[in-house]
Structure 1
Amino acid sequence: MIDIESGQSVPRAGALLRAVERYGDTFTGELPLSVVESNSGVHATLDGLFADLTTTRARLDRAAASEGLAVVAAGTAPLARLGTVPTADGDPRYARMADAYRRLADEQLICGVHVHADVPDRDAAVRALCVIAPWLPVLLALSASSPYWLGADTGYASWRTMVWQRWPTAGPPGCFAGAEEYDRMVGELVGSGVIGDPGMIYYDLRPSAHLPTLELRVCDACPRVETVVLIAALHRALVTDALARLDAGGSGCDGNHARLRAATWRAARSGLEGELVDPVTRRPAPAPAVVRRMLRRLRPALEAHGDWEAVRSLAEEALARGSAAERLRTAVAREDLLAGVDRLLADTRGRARPAARPPRPAAKDRAARDDGRAAAGAR
């Protein structure tokens, strides 16, 4: 959530949630009071998901406007300051997390998009982890939208990933023979006291703790709904493809997770504008080539869901536009960080270009003002 005039991230989740409480659990709070979580319904078609997310964002935008706020869907807010975003009020779990993790919780000014895909059972979900994991950095690159942190360019396309990976259970998932072994590991982690509950398993991909799904968690929140739909379709296809390969006698990864973590770092650094680690050759390759290799691999699964043509079109559009991180940097280079916030806001609202703002202060006045300031879960 941002203040509509200053573009600054603000801790006003309570006011916004009260304004949308008639929509039930579509909108919920998060650890920081600058973030509101939006939850879609369950969909079998990409058109249905697109309509749902578009409607949900419009409702949230109208409610935010009534409070003098706006909502941007991005991995980080370009304009934010530490120490100004307290953790959620009245939630004992978040209170315990804030006390236990201190600076990590204080700096949790990030947003991701999570996608749930149905699985036949928990064993299938766990066995699919290693088959899917090498392709997760490609999805991260498609989503990258967080180059700015506390008003400065980090040099990364997804700085959210760097912030997120500091948590003790974040990063690529491990390899497990089945649900029993996985659940035993989760129990041991909770028993160690390092995490407070199974919900704090923050792997990039994990079996849901309460749903018959495999949950994708590696991606930045995406300004454009089209990107969310693309990632959701690719995640479902990755799950479908992995289960088919396992049924045919295939195996997962070789257990070398150092490569997975390195590939994730590469995607966070480069986005779509540089090289990624090709999951097949394990060598660097231009991001468009790796994305298209993934599409070729997943074509049978995409066709089985009727998604091939839509996904191919959305992927080529994403490659042509470039990452949200690069579009944000372009807007900032042309003007300033506030223009970058306007770009994110326009994309979140589904507009081709930012709405016109009132005339800005002269450069000297604007510099003085800037000295005083240092954002879907689709199932």
Structure 2
Amino acid sequence: MIDIESGQLVPRAGAVLRAVERYGDTFTGELPQSVVESNSKVHETLDGLFADLTTTRARLDRAAASEGLAVVAAGTAPLARLGSVPTADDDPRYARMTGDYRRLADEQLICGVHVHADVPDRDTAVRAMCVVAPWLPVLLALSASSPYWLGADTGYASWRTMVWQRWPTAGPPACFADAEEYDRVVGELVGSGVISDPGMIYYDVRPSAHLPTLELRVCDACPRVETVVLIAALYRALVADARARLAAGEPACDGNHAWLRAATWRAARSGLEGDLVDPVTRRPTPASAVVRGMLRRLRPVLEAHGDWAAVRSLAEEALARGSAAERLRAAAAREDLFAGVDQLLADTRGRSRPAARQPRPAAKARTTRRDGRAAAGAR
């Protein structure tokens, strides 16, 4: 939730949630009071998912506008201040997390996109987890949208990843033989007192605790709906490909995930603008080559779903446009960081950002942006 005049992250999610109550559980709260979680329906087609996300964002944007706010779908808000966004105080679980994790909870000013893919049972979910895990840094790179933290450029494409990985169970998952072993490990972690419930297993991919799905959790929230659709299609194909390989008797994984944490760091650092760690060779390789290698691997599954043409087009467009992080930096370099916020807002709304306009005096009693424009007239 962004204040439309100052461009700052604000703890106003509650007001927006009250404005969208009629949509049921489509919109829910989160740990920080600056975030609204938006939930799509289940879809079999990419067109259906695109339409759902576009409609949902428009509804949320209208509700936010009625409160003098705007919605940004990004891993971090470029303009934010520590201490200005409290955690949710009306949820006992979040209250406990705030007390237990202190600074981690206070600094949880981040936002991700999660994708659920159907699986027939938990054993399949757990075994497929190891097969898909090496490819998740590629999806992270495609989503990277959080180069700024508290108004400063971090040098990372996804600083959200670096904030997120401080939690005790975040990061690449270990390998498990079946659901029984996975559940035993989760039980041990809960029993240790370090986490309070299975929902605090924050692996980059995990069996859902309440749905028959395997859940992707590694990605930044994405300004463009097209990026979300691309990631969802690739992830569904990765899960389907993993199931097929397991059914054919292929080994799930070599059990060595030390390189995978490094690959995740590399994706967070570089996004699409540098090298990634190729999951096949485990050597530095240009991001474009790694993305196209993943497309080749998944082409049979994508064709079976009828997604090949759309995914190939969306992937090539993503490579040509560059990551959201790089586009944000470019907008900020051309003008300033407020212009970068405008870029994110326009992408979240599915519109092109207006060309820069000449400075004009701010209206009386309105906060004037640093570039001299009246913020309310900048969009």
Task: Report if TM-score (shorter chain) is over 0.5.
Answer: yes
Deviation at 1:127, TM superposition (A): 0.3
2:95 is matched with 95
Q: Which residue of 1 aligns with 2:32?
A: 32
Shift of 1:357: 7.2
1:44 aligns with 2:77: no
User: Secondary structure of 1:215's partner?
Assistant: strand
CA contact (8 A) 1:346 1:355 kept: no
Aligned position for 1:148 = 148
Secondary structure in 2 aligned to 1:249? coil
* 1:212–1:360 CA distance, 2 compared to 1 (3 A): farther
Q: Which residue of 1 aligns with 2:104?
A: 104
Deviation at 1:353? Answer: 2.0
The answer for the alignment partner of 1:191 in structure 2 is 191
Q: Is the 8 A contact 1:144 1:222 kept in 2?
A: yes
Cα distance in 1, alignment partners of residues 346 and 216 from structure 2: 26
Matches within 5 A, 1:237-316: 237-316=237-316
| CA RMSD, 1 decimal | 1.6
Percent identical residues: 89
Q: What secondary structure is seen at the aligned counterpart in 2 of 1:28?
A: strand
Deviation at 1:255, TM superposition (A): 1.6
Which moved further from structure 2: 98-107 or 351-360?
A: 351-360
CA distance in 1: counterparts of 2:354 and 2:100, whole angstroms: 41
Measured after TM superposition, the shift of residue 140 of structure 1 is 0.2
Distance in 2 between residues matched to 1:356 and 1:268, nearest whole Å: 30
TM-score between both structures, scaled by the size of structure 1:
0.95
- The corresponding residue for 1:372 is none
| Shift in alpha-carbon separation, 1:250–1:361, aligned structure 2, 3 A | farther
Give the AA of the match of 2:290. V
Determine if contact 2:6/2:369 at 8 Å carries over to the other structure.
no
Contact 1:328/1:344, CA 8 A, preserved across alignment: yes
For residues 161-240 of structure 1, the aligned pairs below 5 Å read 161-240=161-240
Residue 145 of structure 1 and its aligned partner are, at CA, apart by 0.1
Question: Structure 1: where are the runs of 5+ without partners?
Answer: 370-379
C-alpha change, 1:236 and 1:210, in structure 2 (3 Å) is same
- What CA deviation, in whole Å up to 9, does each residue of 1:58-95 have, x standing for no partner? 00000000000000000000000000100112100000
CA–CA distance in structure 1, aligned partners of residues 41 and 78 of structure 2: 29
Mapped contact 1:272–1:319 kept (Cα < 8 A):
yes
Q: Who is 1:125 aligned against?
A: 125
What residue in structure 1 maps to residue 377 of structure 2?
none
Determine the C-alpha separation between the residues in 1 that align with 2:246 and 2:354: 47
- Distance, in Å, in 1 between the alignment partners of 2:358 and 2:194 is 50
Give CA-to-partner distance per residue, 1:4-62, whole Å, 9 cap, x none. Answer: 01100000111000000010000000000000000000000000000000000000000
Deviation (angstroms), 1:361 = 6.2
1:314-346 deviation per Cα after TM superposition (whole angstroms, max 9, x unaligned): 000000000000000000000111000000000
Question: TM-score by structure 2 length?
Answer: 0.95
The residue type paired with residue 142 of structure 1 is L
* Aligned-partner Cα distance in 2 for 1:93–1:360: 47
Map Cα deviations across residues 340-378 of structure 1 (whole Å, 9 max, x no partner): 00000000000022477783569xx85599xxxxxxxxx
CA shift digits 1:151-182 (9 cap, x unpaired): 00000000000000000000001100000000
Which structure ranks higher in relative contact order (CA pairs < 8 Å, sequence separation ≥ 6)?
1
Taking the aligned partners of 1:318 and 1:231, their CA distance within structure 2 comes to 11
